[in-house]
Structure 1
Amino acid sequence: MKIVNAAVSVLMLASLSQVATAASAGTGGLSTAFSKNSTSIGVALGSGSAFDDDYLILGVSAGYYLFNGLELGIDVQHWFSGDPSITKVSPKITYVFTQPDVIKPYLGMFYRRSFYGDYQGISIDDENSYGYRAGAYFNTDSRVNIGGGIVHEKYTDCSRFYDCSTTYPELLFTVSF
């Protein structure tokens, strides 16, 4: 299973432009999606595993920049092709340091609510989690930014006898309009 996930990750990196895209419309003051009054919309495609099953993950995100670099947004994911069905809704806040020219670091926080369908006829309780992310966008030209970072997520409804947190990488691709 780990080999399959690694292969999918490599393919996703190789076709980064097809993995996730985001479009922005804004003031153009920073010539990126990070400027005040910009709106960002994104689409995500990935894979994951849970409950001893493999999933295809599709998601959409939207955000609004209140100030240069400060985004309020929401992400919604649905995990298909596995049992049980999983839907995740995540309000988020992200700050992108817009001052550097080439590399623009970002920091963010989020809250996530995960909704589960029945698993083999058994009802599963929905879960809450929260976390943070840190990384950087690399400005490739005035309209395209590619980023990557680390996400740390902590589950709140978890037994103290289990490791209730996870850390994973993220890849981002944004296009400004």
Structure 2
Amino acid sequence: MSDLEIKNKIAESGLVNLDLSQLVPKGKRVGIDLKDFLFQELILKEKEFREKIAAINTDEYNDCYVYIFNSADAIVPLWAYFLITAKLTETAKKIVFGNREDLEVLLMHQAVQTYDFTDLMGKRVLVKGCSDQSIPENAYIELVEQLKPLVKSLMFGEACSNVPIFKN
């Protein structure tokens, strides 16, 4: 038999792989279009609006991430957003104004800002470049801000093909 030993140089390198998709908060995302609460999808009539808000089944939003948007060409007063948020705040995990992408940016912002990266102190870190999930670009920017003072070096991509970002 041969005395050749196959070595995994990547495993021996001390490189820590970081997959940002692991920080994506789990849970259902639900959009609420305010046009559905408007008279003829154009006009906010306060009494009817309040009645429709009161009729919302909050169980449908239990532990969900909710984004509120307005697809109608109608001006909606700011207090309308207050009312719908007040109705859902007890059951939804998070409520934001904007589209689904806005929600994802905010969720990833919170995830990156609150994650404890101290176990990466002084390590060589490789941020995974490909993911099955869509990650907002801003999450990568915030990740670099968090890791720069901690890690020995930062790379982006895959172990076999990566781009060096910085070395401390």
Q: TM-score, normalised by structure 2?
A: 0.24
Structure that is richer in strand per residue:
1
Larger Rg: 1 or 2?
2
- Which of structures 1 and 2 has the larger relative contact order (alpha carbons within 8 angstroms, sep 6+)? 2
Structure that is richer in helix per residue:
2
